[in-house]
Chains A and B, each alone.
Chain A
Amino acid sequence: MSDSPSDAERRKRWSLEIEAVYREQGRELWALFYAQCNNPDWAYDALQESFVRLQEQDGERIREPRAWLLRVGRNWLRDVARRQRVAAKPSEGLDNLPREDAEEPRHDLEREERFEQVREGLDQLKEPDREVLVLRYALGWSSVRIAEVLESTASAIDMRLSRARKRLAKYLDSTGTRE
C-alpha cells in the first residue's frame, strides 16, 4: 500500500528534523554515552542506534527527541554491558584494535600507553565524574552550560570537575604515568 503524499511529506520532514537534531546534539549525546560506558566505539554505536530507532518512530509522538535519544542510547548501552558480562567480553580483542577513524595512526607508543592509562583512570571514576570531564574536555563546554545539561549549578560542576581531576591525577600518579 503506497503512502499518501501527506505521509511522504511528513516522513521527509521528520527525516530533516532528525538530521538537524543529529548535527546539533550528536556530540553531546556521544559524550554522555561515553561517560556511561567509557568506550568511544560503544558510545558511537549507541548514538547511531538511538537515531536509527528514532527514524522509525512517528515524529508527532516524540516531543523531546533529545530526551528520547538519551534514554534509548543508555538502555542500549546497558544491554551491551550486560551481554558483554555474559559473553565474557568476546569483542575485547577487536575493541583494542586501532580505530579506523583515528586522525592519524598512533605510531607513538608512549602516547598510546598514556591514553590507555587515562582510559583506565576514567574507568575508575564514577559516571558523574566522567560526565563532567568529557563534557568539559571533549566538548569544551563551560561549567554553566554543563550545569544546564546536568541540571546542576556551575559551582557544583566546578567542584565536581576539580574532584574528578584530582582523582584521575592521583590514579595516573599511582601508575607512574609521566609526560
Chain B
Amino acid sequence: MTSNHESQLEPLLVEFFRAEMPAELRSPEFDVPDAKAVSETVTVDDAHVAHLPADAGSPVVVGSRPTGPSGLAVVVVVAACLLAVVFTIPGGPATPVRDSDGVAASSDADTGDAAPAALEPAFTLETDDVFVERVDGRVETFGAERIETSRGPVELRTVRETSNVSVFNPETGNGVDVTSEVLDIEIVPIDDPEEPVGDEFPDPRDDAPLPPEFGSP
C-alpha cells in the first residue's frame, strides 16, 4: 500500500522542495538559526568555596539573554554588593602570629616586640594567604526557560543566590565578612519531545490494563 511510498517520501520531498525553492532563497545568507536566541553562557563556580584570586571581587558571568521577570542582567558580577562589614577581630589576642620558623611568636601584650606588620589592622583581598569560608547562603530566585536551538531544545536555568562569606587572614588576624550575589547560569540539553519514539500515533492498547495472568506489580 502506502508504506513503500512513505519510506521514499521524505527524501523525495526534500529533493523536490530544494528544486522548487528559488535560487536566491537557497543562498546561505537566508539561513536562519533554528532558535530565537542561543545564549553562550558560562557557569560560575561558587567563588566562596575556593581561594579568592587577586581579582576576586569581580568574577563575571557572561550571558546574552535577559532572564526572568526581574530582568536579571546579562552580566552579573559576583560580589556585586560587598555589603560587608569590615571588621578587625575584636579585642583579645588575635590568632598567633608565626615567625619565619613557624614558631608562634608572643603577642605584643606579652613582650611588645612583635613585628609591627603583623599587627597592621588593614586587610586587603590581595593577600594570597587567606581562608575563605562560606557562612551561609540562600537562593533568591530560580528560573527555567526552554530554548529551541538548532541542536535541539535546551533549558536555561538561572539561580540567583546570596552568600555570606567570611574571609580571614590568619597572619594579621583580620577578617572580612562579605555578602555576595551569585548568578548561576546553566544550559542543559533536554530530551526533545517532538521526536516521538516509535509510532506517532500511540496504540491505545498501550494504556490498557494488563491481563490478569500478568498480575499487578
Q: Which of A68-76, A79-87, A89-97, A169-177 contacts B (4 or more CB under 8 A)?
A: A169-177
Within 8 A of A (CB), among B1-54: 1-2, 4-6, 8-10, 12-14, 16-26, 29-30, 32, 34
The listed residue (B5, B32, B193, B201) touching A173 by CB distance below 8 A is B5
> Are A162 and B20 in contact, with the CB atoms below 8 A?
no
- Does A142 interact with chain B (Cβ within 8 Å)? yes
Flag if B12 contacts A118 (CB, 8 Å).
yes
**Residue of B at shortest CB range from A38?**
B20
- Interface status of B200 (Cβ within 8 A of chain A): yes
Instruction: Tell me if B161 is interfacial: C-beta within 8 Å of chain A.
Output: no
Is the Cβ of A30 less than 8 Å from the Cβ of B21?
yes
In the assembled complex, A125 has its CB within 8 A of some CB on chain B = no
A165 CB contacts on chain B under 8 angstroms: 6, 9-10
- Whether A54 is near chain B, meaning CB under 8 Å from some CB there, is no
Contact A101 B22 (CB under 8 A): yes
* A142 CB contacts on chain B under 8 angstroms: 34, 148, 192, 194
Q: Is B91 an interface residue (CB 8 A)?
A: no
Tell whether, in the assembled complex, residue B24 and residue A158 are in contact, meaning their CB atoms are under 8 Å apart.
no
Contact B2 A40 (CB under 8 A): no
Number of interface residues of B (CB under 8 A): 34
In the complex, chain B residues whose CB is within 8 Å of the CB of A158 = 194, 196, 200
Is A138 touching B194 in the complex (CB atoms < 8 A)?
Answer: no
On whether A24 and B32 interact (CB within 8 A), knowing A30-B21, A162-B201, A173-B4, the answer reads yes
A159 — which chain B residues lie within 8 A by C-beta?
Answer: 200-201
Inside 8 A of B10's CB, which chain A residues have their CB? 137, 165
Please state if B148 and A166 are interface contacts (CB–CB under 8 Å).
no
| Contact, CB under 8 Å: B194 / A144 | yes
In the docked arrangement, what's the CA distance between A44 and B153, Å?
Answer: 32
A179 at the B interface (CB under 8 A)? yes
Q: How far is the CA of A116 from the CA of B6 in the complex (A)?
A: 17
B34, A172: Cβ atoms under 8 Å? no
